[in-house]
């Protein structure tokens, strides 16, 4: 199975069916893989007046929820996929300027916005699909001292195989816009690995909670909810 160039939009199909019938700003914010349980936005802390960034925002549903139901100064919803960016613009472009939809690679965006953010977060987003040795130092640089990073990620592979004991990716199945089968990289790491790479990247106050899956279905998974603070 070939792995496609990073210029190919492998997120072209994702979320399109939902967008056809669900255009509402979400009332709820979930961190779990199933998106049906677990805490709301509380792990982000008080975002009132804050500049917030979502990394790998997809259709920007979580970012729209924050803008509509919390009081951040601005939320930047960052995603590299042209299709996801277009979908987000169609669904939630009306929430500008407090919601800013940014089409960009996450690492590039973070490097271009040093010291900008009070809070960064990812819900099975760019943290999962970008080498953490590149993304996490860039995230630390984009946060103001004492800024918070919060992300949810798989606690293990779908199907139950254990997460990796080192910073190595897996090749997972994907489809091109034309429907061809290909793969892309995903980082599914054990708790202590995330903790180590966060510490090396400039974070402190690191905590990891495991949110169990509410079902034993074949593609269900527990979730790691990771919180960290940029060192001063």
- The torsion defined by the Cα of 37, 71, 64 and 108, in degrees rounded to 10, comes to -100
Asked if pLDDT for residue 219 goes beyond 80, the answer is no
DSSP codes joined into one string, 38-103: S--SGGG---TT-EEEEES-TT-HHHHHHHHHS--SEEEEEE--HHHHHHHHHHHGGGTTTEEEEE
Confidence of residue 71 (pLDDT cuts 50, 70, 90): very high
What's the average model confidence in pLDDT over 100-107? 97
DSSP element (H, E) containing 17: helix 16-21
Tens of pLDDT, residues 17-53: 676 776 889 898 899 998 887 789 999 999 999 999 9
pLDDT for the residue numbered 7: 54
The CA distance from 33 to 81, in Å, is 21
Element (H, E) at 109: helix 106-112
Q: To the nearest whole percent, how much of the chain has pLDDT over 70?
A: 93
Q: Please state the domain extents for the chain.
A: 16-230
Q: Does residue 4 register a pLDDT over 70?
A: no
pLDDT of residue 16: 66
Mean pLDDT of the chain: 91
Q: Which strand (E) or helix (H) includes residue 171?
A: strand 170-175
CB atoms within 10 A of CB 146: 12
C-alpha–C-alpha distance, residues 221 and 163, integer Å:
11
Q: Is residue 6 pLDDT above 70, yes or no?
A: no
Pick the CATH number of 16-230 from 3.40.50.150, 3.40.50.1220, 3.30.70.890, 3.40.50.970: 3.40.50.150
- Two tokens, residue 100: 């800013």
Residue 9 and residue 15 in contact, taking contact as beta carbons nearer than 8 Å: no
Q: How confident is the model at residue 3 (pLDDT cuts 50, 70, 90)?
A: very low
Cβ-proximal residues to 231 (8 Å cutoff; 6+ apart), any chain: 140, 145, 202, 203, 204
């Amino acid at each position: 199975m070939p792995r496609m160039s990073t210029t190919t939009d492998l997120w072209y199909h994702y979320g399109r069916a939902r967008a056809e019938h669900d255009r509402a700003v979400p009332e709820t914010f979930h961190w779990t893989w199933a998106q049906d349980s677990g805490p709301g936005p509380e792990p982000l802390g008080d975002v009132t007046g804050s500049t917030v960034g979502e990394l790998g925002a997809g259709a920007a549903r979580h970012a729209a929820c924050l803008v509509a139901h919390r009081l951040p100064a601005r939320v930047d919803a960052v995603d590299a996929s042209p299709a996801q960016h277009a979908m987000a613009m169609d669904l939630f472009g009306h929430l500008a300027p407090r919601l800013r939809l940014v089409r960009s690679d996450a690492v590039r965006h973070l490097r271009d916005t040093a010291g900008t953010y009070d809070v960064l977060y990812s819900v099975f987003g760019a943290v999962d699909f970008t080498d953490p040795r590149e993304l996490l130092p860039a995230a630390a640089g984009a946060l103001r001292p004492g800024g918070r990073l919060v992300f949810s990620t798989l606690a293990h592979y779908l199907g139950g195989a254990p997460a990796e004991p080192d910073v190595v990716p897996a090749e997972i199945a994907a489809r091109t816009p034309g429907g061809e089968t290909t793969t892309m990289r995903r980082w599914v790491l054990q708790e202590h690995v995330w903790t180590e790479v966060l510490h090396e990247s400039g974070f402190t106050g690191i905590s990891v909670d495991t949110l169990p899956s509410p079902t034993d279905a074949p593609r269900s998974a527990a979730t790691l909810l990771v919180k960290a603070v940029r060192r001063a």
